[in-house]
Amino acid sequence: MKNIVILASGSGSNAENIIKYLENNAEINVIEIVCNRKDAYIFERAKKLNIPCTYIKNSEIRESDILLKLLKSKADFIVLAGFLLKVPENIIEAFPNKIINIHPALLPNYGGKGMYGMHVHQAVKENKETETGITIHYVNENYDEGAIIFQAKTALTKDDTPESIAQKVHQLEYKYFPEVIAKTVLQ
Ligand code: GRF
C-alpha cells in the first residue's frame, strides 16, 4: 500500500477529485491533507470526504520540522494540489522523486515565481497564446523545474478570457491528474 499526503492551500477541487478517484484503489491510500491556510475551503471538502485535514501555518512549515515529521511518518508520496508555498528543502531532500505537483500551464512557459493561479491565465491571455495546458512534474529545489511527468494541451480562441482559460485548464486537471498520480505512484 502506498500512502499519499496532499498539500493544498485553497479550494481543493483537485484534492477532492483525486481522493474520489482513488477511493476504491486497493494499492493507494490518500491518508491526510495538510493545508497552510486556515480559512481554505478544502477543510469543508475534507470533512465531507472523511479525510483528516491538518492546518500548519507557513512559519511553522518554514521554521520547524513539524511538516517534515508528519510526512516522514505517513507519506510514501506527496501530492501538491494548489499548494502555494515553496516546499522547504529538507522535505525535498527527504522525498526525492516522491513529490508531484501540477502546474496550470505548459512548462517551461509560464512557470516560476509569481506564476500561480489566475496570474498564469492572465499572462497566457495577454500573450495571445493559441494553446495552454497542464504540466504534472516532480518537485525539485527550483520552482517549476522538476522533471516533467505528463503534459496535456487545450486550444484557445481569441474569445477566451482568463476565466474561461482557467476553466479549460481545470477540466484537464480533473481528467488527467488522478490517473497520472496513480500511474506514477505504482510504477
Ligand atoms: C489548480 O489550477 C492547480 O493547477 C494550481 O492551483 C489550482 C488549485 O485549484 N496549482 P483547486 O484548489 O484544486 O481547486
Checking if the pLDDT of 113 tops 90, the result is no
Q: Hey, which of 34, 173, 176, 177 would you mutate to test ligand 1's pocket, going by the most ligand atoms within 8 Å of its Cβ?
A: 173
Q: Kindly state the average pLDDT of the residues 38-52.
A: 98
DSSP character string of the chain = -EEEEEEE-S--HHHHHHHHHHTT-SSEEEEEEEES-TT-THHHHHHHHT--EEE--HHHHHHSSHHHHHHHHH-SEEEESS--SPPPHHHHHHSTT-EEEEESS-TTTT-STT--HHHHHHHHHHTT-SEEEEEEEE--SSTT-SPEEEEEEEE--TT--HHHHHHHHHHHHHHHHHHHHHHHHH-
**Crossing angle for the helix pair 162-186 and 117-126, to the nearest 10 degrees:** 120
Inter-CA distances, 19 with 9, 35, 102, Å = 16, 15, 15
Is the alpha carbon torsion for 96, 101, 105, 106 positive or negative?
A: positive
- The residue contributing the CA closest to ligand 1 atom 1 is 82
What's the CA angle centered on 172, arms 38 and 146, to 5 degrees?
70
166 CA to centre of ligand 1 in angstroms: 9
CA 141 – ligand 1 centroid, Å: 20
pLDDT digits (tens, 9 = 90+) for 3-32: 999 999 999 999 999 999 999 999 999 999
CA of 154 to the centre of ligand 1 (A): 17
Question: For 99-108, what is each residue's pLDDT tens digit?
Answer: 999 999 999 9
Q: In what order do the strands lie in the sheet with 131-138?
A: 53-55, 28-35, 2-8, 77-80, 99-103, 131-138, 148-155
CA-CA distance, 9 to 3, in Å (whole number)? 20
Predicted local distance difference test score (pLDDT) of residue 126: 98
Name the closest-CA residue to atom 3, ligand 1: 82
Q: What pLDDT was estimated at residue 1?
A: 96
Q: 111: Cβ below 6 Å to ligand 1? A: no
Does pLDDT of 144 surpass 90?
A: no
Question: Residue of the nearest CA to atom 14 in ligand 1?
Answer: 13
Question: Quick check: is 103 catalytic?
Answer: yes
How confident is the model at residue 142, as a pLDDT?
A: 83
pLDDT at 74: 97
pLDDT band at 141 (very low <50, low <70, confident <90, very high): confident
